[in-house]
Chain A
């Protein structure tokens, strides 16, 4: 029985480490997919913001001395 205790302890430690790494793996997977979606959405936002900025520049030029 005494010989079994260290073996059991090692098994438990192994299981614990494995469960931590599994948890990390799962969290990393979630982060990967979320990050992809965020990057895609933010790229769209950046593009659209640039379009508004360009339109605004045209507006500034067209209404240069009139709306200030």
Chain B
């Protein structure tokens, strides 16, 4: 079966030995940026509505399994309310979790790789920077942003600030960036769930075609349905969190 082969190929090609991998900087990312442009090429999928996503034809499954880029684009192309805010919040993270059946089992240890301290500068230069304790997975994105590893030195800028205020502000930004890490993780779980749903739905179609026992089909359908419902609720929760964070994150 095409689906079986393609998803297996994905599992082999991704996440071996690591729970995450560097996101493509090539055409995939460009297509992501150009997403929604009228002049996009044929290789770049158009936005699809949520209803269409739920009724997956066998051809769609084949498309989904063509490679990393296709899979990443597929995850991005699913349309849900608040998707733009999610993109805004996780946009500059160039290291995201990409799950497959193997590394998904070890997701907790992969996710909790440990914390590192960085001195995060805020967009407004006159503002004192903040000391953040971040996940090791997010370190590279912070370094790329111009942050330095380690705690911030004592602030000697123009603005007069008390120690109490500096401490409170550090706590506040730690909460905000901790929330951002949760959004990044939740989005990765959502992407994986969508990919697995696609495969499972195709399998159900096959089982129906070959007249598999009715109770087996019903049991599998119930599992798919439960995941579908939880995925919809996760999308709503992601949209709410990202909507709140998008306005609060200062680059």
- Whether B233 is near chain A, meaning CB under 8 Å from some CB there, is yes
- Whether B11 is near chain A, meaning CB under 8 Å from some CB there, is yes
In the complex, which range does the number of interface residues on chain B fall in? 35 or more
Is B168 in contact with A31, judged by CB distance below 8 angstroms?
Answer: yes
Shortest CB-to-CB span from A6 to chain B, Å, is 21
Shortest CB-to-CB span from A35 to chain B, Å, is 5
Chain A 24-68, CB within 8 Å of chain B: the 1/0 string? Answer: 100110010011011101101111110111011011101100111
Residues of chain B within 8 A of A63, CB atoms compared: 196, 199-200, 203, 220, 223
- Whether B119 is near chain A, meaning CB under 8 Å from some CB there, is no
Shortest CB-to-CB span from B100 to chain A, Å, is 9
- Whether B182 is near chain A, meaning CB under 8 Å from some CB there, is yes
Whether A38 contacts B190 in the complex (CB less than 8 A), given A45-B237, A62-B220, A63-B203, comes out as no
Residues of chain A within 8 A of B189, CB atoms compared: 49, 52-53, 56
Is A38 in contact with B244, judged by CB distance below 8 angstroms?
Answer: yes
Whether A44 contacts B220 in the complex (CB less than 8 A), given A35-B172, A59-B200, comes out as no
Rounded to whole angstroms, the CA-CA distance of A52 and B234 in the bound complex is 7
Is A52 in contact with B183, judged by CB distance below 8 angstroms?
Answer: no
- Whether B245 is near chain A, meaning CB under 8 Å from some CB there, is yes
B235 to A, closest residue via Cβ? A48
Q: Which residues of A are interface residues toward B (Cβ below 8 A)?
A: 20-21, 24, 27-28, 31, 34-35, 37-39, 41-42, 44-49, 51-53, 55-56, 58-60, 62-63, 66-68
Q: Which residues of B are interface residues toward A (Cβ below 8 A)?
A: 3-4, 7-8, 11, 101, 104, 107, 160-162, 164-165, 168-169, 171-172, 175-176, 178-179, 182-183, 185-186, 189-190, 192-193, 196-197, 199-200, 202-203, 219-220, 223-224, 226-227, 230-231, 233-234, 236-238, 240-241, 244-245, 248
Residues of chain A within 8 A of B185, CB atoms compared: 49
Residues of chain B within 8 A of A27, CB atoms compared: 165, 169
B165 to A, closest residue via Cβ? A24
Is A44 in contact with B237, judged by CB distance below 8 angstroms?
Answer: yes
B10 to A, closest residue via Cβ? A68
B196 to A, closest residue via Cβ? A59
B221 to A, closest residue via Cβ? A62
Known: A38-B179, A56-B189, A56-B193. 18 other contacts (CB 8 A): A21-B162, A24-B164, A27-B165, A38-B241, A39-B175, A45-B240, A47-B237, A49-B237, A52-B231, A53-B189, A56-B227, A59-B196, A59-B223, A59-B224, A60-B196, A66-B4, A67-B4, A68-B101
